[in-house]
Amino acid sequence: DGGITQSPKYLFRKEGQNVTLSCEQNLNHDAMYWYRQDPGQGLRLIYYSQIVNDFQKGDIAEGYSVSREKKESFPLTVTSAQKNPTAFYLCASSISAGAVYNEQFFGPGTRLTVL
């Protein structure tokens, strides 16, 4: 079964802690993305990666970090510097970031709550 997996589904964090969200895909896609969604709002891009060992900041990268050491994996770390981390985090992938019609496919998401 090809797809994108994210773990954990729910995550609780105390203020001041860093947490890492996992995203894995077995679709052989080059490009991967992290979005954040807040209630009643659209998705906002945090980071994206067009190829292994390369990634770029999106619109709201402050307080987040990523790595792309393997094609299949694009973990996101939410650091203590992120002021309002409680949100729904979605990972996506597409065949190529360079294609004009680069349909993106999403994992099931991780709900992060800061206590």
Partner 1 sequence: RKEVEQDPGPFNVPEGATVAFNCTYSNSASQSFFWYRQDCRKEPKLLMSVYSSGNEDGRFTAQLNRASQYISLLIRDSKLSDSATYLCVVNLGSTGRRALTFGSGTRLQVQP
Of 15-23, 63-71, 75-83, 89-97: span binding partner 1 (CB under 8 A): 89-97
Of 13, 32, 15, 36, which is closest to residue 24 (Cα–Cα)? 32
* 64's tokens: 């987040």
Count of residues that interact with partner 1, criterion CB under 8 A: 31
**Residue span 19-58 as binding mask against partner 1, x where in contact by CB under 8 A, dash where not:** ------------x-x-x----xxxxxx--x-x-----x-x
Asked if residue 60 binds partner 1 (CB under 8 A), the reply is no
The Cα 37–Cα 112 span in angstroms is 11
The Cα 60–Cα 80 span in angstroms is 15
State which of residues 1, 2, 15, 103 lies at the interface with partner 1 (CB under 8 A).
103
The Cα 70–Cα 101 span in angstroms is 24
Contact residues toward partner 1 (CB under 8 A) are 31, 33, 35, 40-45, 48, 50, 56, 58, 88, 90, 94, 96-109, 111
